[in-house]
Amino acid sequence: MTETSASSASLISGTTAFKEPFPMNLVVFPGYIVFILMPTNLSGCSNLEVLWLAGNKLVGSIPKEMSLLSKISRLAIHDNKLTGGIPPFLGNITSMEGFSAGGNPFGGSIPDTLGHWKSLTEFDSGGCNLYGSIPHSIFNLSLLVTFSLPDNHLTGSLPSEIGNQIPNLEYLQLRNNELTGVLPLSISNCSKLGTLEMSNNSFTGKLTIDFSKLRDINIIRLDNNFHGRREADNMRFVDSLKNCTRLVDLNLYNCNLIGVLPISIGNLSHQLSFLYLGHNQLFGSLPSSIGSLVGLTTLSLANNIFKGRIPTTIGKLQKLQYLSLSRNQFSGPIPGAIGNLSLLTILYLENNKLEGHIPSSLGNCKELNELYLAHNRLTGKVPKQILQLPSLTIFLDLSYNNLSGSIPSEIKYLKMLSGLALSYSNLSGTITSIGECISLTKLYLSGNIFEGIIPSSLSSLRGLEVLDISQNKLSGKIPQFLEKWHSLEFLNLSFNDFEGEVPVVGVFANASLFSVLGNDKLCGGLVTLGLPKCKETGSKKKRFIFLILLIVIAPTLLIILCCVYVLCKKKRNSQPSESSRSERFMKVSYNQLLKATDGFSTENLIGEGGHSSVYKGILDSNDDKSVAVKVLHLQSRGAHKSFIAECEAWRNIRHRSLLKIITSCSSTDLQGNDFKALVYEFMPNGSVHDWLHSSAYTSKLNLLQRINILRDVAIALDYLHNRCQTTIVHGDLKPSNILLDDDMVAHVGDFGLARLLGTDLNQNSSSGVKGTIGYAPPEYGIGREMTCCGDVYSFGILLLEVMTGKKPTNDMFIGGLSLHKFAYMALPDHVIDVIDNDAIVLQSTEANAKKVEECLVATIKIGVSCSVDSPPQRMKIEIVVNELQRILDVLQNL
């Protein structure tokens, strides 16, 4: 490899750490070389000027011979696995101008001898596990431009003259260390500074830096410093920021700033995008000049002592996405102008003294995902406009206010919402309409005046983990569906007026997971509840008589039976809930899976795909419930990527229309080969493919079931595309990936080809296989990236297959005819002829028959619109969801 020392422009393209052109003598090994040891024979290249070994897997320590490369000016060894410290002899290479070693687990301290590098302009050793203080000789390197040592364990303080000793600094980055002392005032003299990043250290003293000469600065991050200070700050530094016209990011979160935010805050750069001043002790009012910072996307002022009104000028911050004013003492109304913030996704206003109505203009914040207004003094009704925001998917918290009226029926539009808190907010009426918020996992309704029974509509909230309806006026029996919700982790029914028997299974089997206190008419349940026994009902009476007989005949037998019964029951009750709580965190071993699937026996094989086989099994640790174990064929090309894609996709998502993953296994099998598997909940009703095409399924799906399934799949896609933190493209939607649970509810599974837009993963999984023939859109065939539009195409084909009962690969589709065309040609008058006969039930009246036909036409239209060849012309999945819901509403009301 010493022969490789000629320069090669093509090898270095794409690597940009060194800005200047490369001199003649250099060695470049970017990215893809695996060494066992640092090469020692490089020492022959005594004329080497640039040595680039970054981004490999080099291990071991830097060899002594390296110091013989006396002409080296640039040494790039970052992102390897080098250990053994940064050796002092490197200081002998006095020609060094750029030293880039970040991302190696070196350890040790920074050698004093590096102070010999008089020509050094770039020093970058972030994340190198370095200890001790920065030697003073380093601060003598007056030509330094980049000085970056973040994410180490460096201690000690910075010399007060740093800014005068290193006047050319452009990039000073020492975040995540243990530095102490004051932040030197002389930094005010680093007039070329662009980035000042000192977050998460233990600097003390006042923040006195004068930023007025730092014209080029664009990032100032000093957050999490200056603790234990008690003196008031004059906040003068804010005035000095006026001239920093390139400032983008100002982060002074948790800096113990005490004082009034000066009006001059409004004179900061229009480029300023991030302003974090939360967790300080800023008091007085929030100056209305804040509205001049028109570039802001994030404004965090939470946890201060601001009082007075929230200035209405906040409505001018048109780019704002994140606004947090929570935990202050703001009073007066919530300005209606917040409704002007059309890009707002998160709004925190909780724990203030805000009064008046919740402004209905919040309904204009069409991107709002999370809204927190709890612990204020808000009055009036819940405005229906905020309930009509389809974007509201994460959390809506209005609790601890003094609202009035009932829950508006518009709550039904919040189909994607996962958390709702309306506790202690003085609401009344029934809770029936909440049953439509089918994605809820957390629901807090305690301390209101809700009345009536727990409606059966709530049974659709099967993903609920927490349900607190305590302290209301609810009555009636405890409905049976509560005991069947497997994900329920906490249930509080206390202080209502419930009656009848408390169940003993499901969540009711573990007294620490539920509370029924203060309901005088309840009976039965776990013995530990101490409730009275329930009065015998008819059938129980018979059993009682039988028991009496038994007593007469064989009293001893009875005693034995009773004992056995009690023992068994106790055992059963105490186990499942414990395991279900730890369920999500457990990982299983190869041996457990071996046992669960009876040695991966063929009898348990329920499916086989290119990258994997799926087995049915029973996992001890999963409460003896059946699971589906997907074992990756690691030999097959792309299987590793597929596993990573799937794990990554699952880490980010959770929705009731998506197949729930229970655990994963990454281990070795008995022969020592790599073994990877994913464990899902088992879907007893098989896949949509089975129902449509397998002769084993004699009964068929009816029309309502089919449209319900399609609606749920569309909701799942909408969730993946639009409601997750990262957009997820499924990539392989088809009937065999749509699984049906006990209640015939659809769950979308198999994320083996999923692609997370905006992550590294997308490059990985975009190569190779894309989708399945028939379902993959035409553009994948010509090598285009997987996109959401591609999923919509697959959905369109899926819809047409579900409705017509014909696979896209059916023999009849030859010579230019396709499933899409077949359906398209039937529109609008002949739709009934292409619909799967099994789906249609003859309607009693002509009017109804007409309505059904209209629904069929509308459904086929969706399928056709989704599966057009041109990606941008395909229907939007949000619209598909709404349309299918509308069709379902019509069909259900026939």
Residues that bind ligand NAG (CB under 6 A): 64, 67, 89, 92, 115, 136-137, 140, 163-164, 185-186, 188-189, 212, 240, 242-243, 266-267, 289, 292, 315-316, 336-337, 339-340, 361, 379, 402, 404, 446, 470-471, 492, 494-495, 515
Smaller CB separation from ligand NAG, 359 or 796: 359
Smaller CB separation from ligand NAG, 339 or 576: 339
User: Where would I find the H helices in 364-414?
Assistant: 384-387
Write 413-418 long-range contacts (CB < 8 A, 24+).
413/387, 413/388, 413/389, 414/387, 414/389, 415/390, 415/439, 415/715, 416/390, 416/392, 416/715, 416/718, 416/719, 416/723, 417/392, 417/393, 418/393, 418/394, 418/442, 418/654
**Shortest approach of ligand NAG to residue 215 CB, angstroms?**
8
- The tokens describing 760, both together, are 């590294």
**Shortest approach of ligand NAG to residue 290 CB, angstroms?**
9
Smaller CB separation from ligand NAG, 189 or 439: 189
How many whole angstroms separate alpha carbon 177 and alpha carbon 147?
14
Smaller CB separation from ligand NAG, 172 or 709: 172
**Which of 124, 151, 712, 732 is the catalytic position?**
732
**Shortest approach of ligand NAG to residue 186 CB, angstroms?**
4
How many whole angstroms separate alpha carbon 532 and alpha carbon 718?
49
In this structure, the strands spanning 497-502 and 521-524 are: parallel
In this structure, the strands spanning 74-76 and 490-492 are: unpaired
How many whole angstroms separate alpha carbon 49 and alpha carbon 24?
8
Please, what sign has the CA dihedral across residues 266, 268, 271, 272? negative
Decide: residue 571, CB within 10 A, 0-12 exposed, 13-18 middle, 19+ buried: exposed
The answer to whether the CB of 728 falls within 8 A of the CB of 748 is: no
**Shortest approach of ligand NAG to residue 360 CB, angstroms?**
10
Active site residue 674: no
Contacts of 301 (CB under 8 A, 6+ apart): 277, 278, 282, 286, 324, 325, 328
Q: At what angle do helices 846-866 and 819-826 cross, to 10 degrees?
A: 140
Smaller CB separation from ligand NAG, 311 or 686: 311
* 3-class DSSP assignment, residue 873: helix
Residue type at 397 in one-letter notation: D
Neighbours of 146 (CB within 10 A): 20
Distances (CA, A) of 399 to 44, 402, 442, 484: 73, 9, 13, 28
Q: How many CA atoms lie within 13 A of 794 on its CB side?
A: 28
Q: Which of 855, 701, 880 is nearest to 788 (CA)?
A: 880
Smaller CB separation from ligand NAG, 209 or 252: 209
**Shortest approach of ligand NAG to residue 368 CB, angstroms?**
16
The answer to whether the CB of 656 falls within 8 A of the CB of 581 is: no
Roughly how many angstroms between the first and final C-alpha of the chain, as a whole number?
79
**Shortest approach of ligand NAG to residue 39 CB, angstroms?**
17
**Shortest approach of ligand NAG to residue 139 CB, angstroms?**
7
**Shortest approach of ligand NAG to residue 424 CB, angstroms?**
9
**Shortest approach of ligand NAG to residue 252 CB, angstroms?**
19
How many whole angstroms separate alpha carbon 367 and alpha carbon 524?
48
Smaller CB separation from ligand NAG, 508 or 719: 508
Smaller CB separation from ligand NAG, 134 or 593: 134
Residue type at 363 in one-letter notation: G
- The tokens describing 512, both together, are 């620490």
- The tokens describing 55, both together, are 């981004």
Q: Which of 252, 304, 299 is nearest to 280 (CA)?
A: 304
Smaller CB separation from ligand NAG, 259 or 315: 315
Longest dimension (CA), the chain: 107
Smaller CB separation from ligand NAG, 446 or 663: 446
- The tokens describing 323, both together, are 């606004």
**Shortest approach of ligand NAG to residue 763 CB, angstroms?**
40
Place of tokens 């040592």: 149
- The tokens describing 163, both together, are 């800014």
**Shortest approach of ligand NAG to residue 359 CB, angstroms?**
8
Each residue of 67-84: b (16+ CB within 10 Å) or e? bbbeebbbbbbbbbebeb
Smaller CB separation from ligand NAG, 93 or 662: 93
Residue type at 71 in one-letter notation: K
Smaller CB separation from ligand NAG, 336 or 774: 336
Decide: residue 835, CB within 10 A, 0-12 exposed, 13-18 middle, 19+ buried: buried
- 630 appears as a binding residue in the annotation: yes
Residue 677 parent element (H or E): strand 674-681
Place of tokens 């301290």: 109
Strands (E), 343-409: 346-348, 353-357, 370-372, 377-380, 395-397, 402-403
**Shortest approach of ligand NAG to residue 176 CB, angstroms?**
25
| Residues assigned a catalytic role | 732
- Binding residues are 630
- Binding residues for ATP are 630
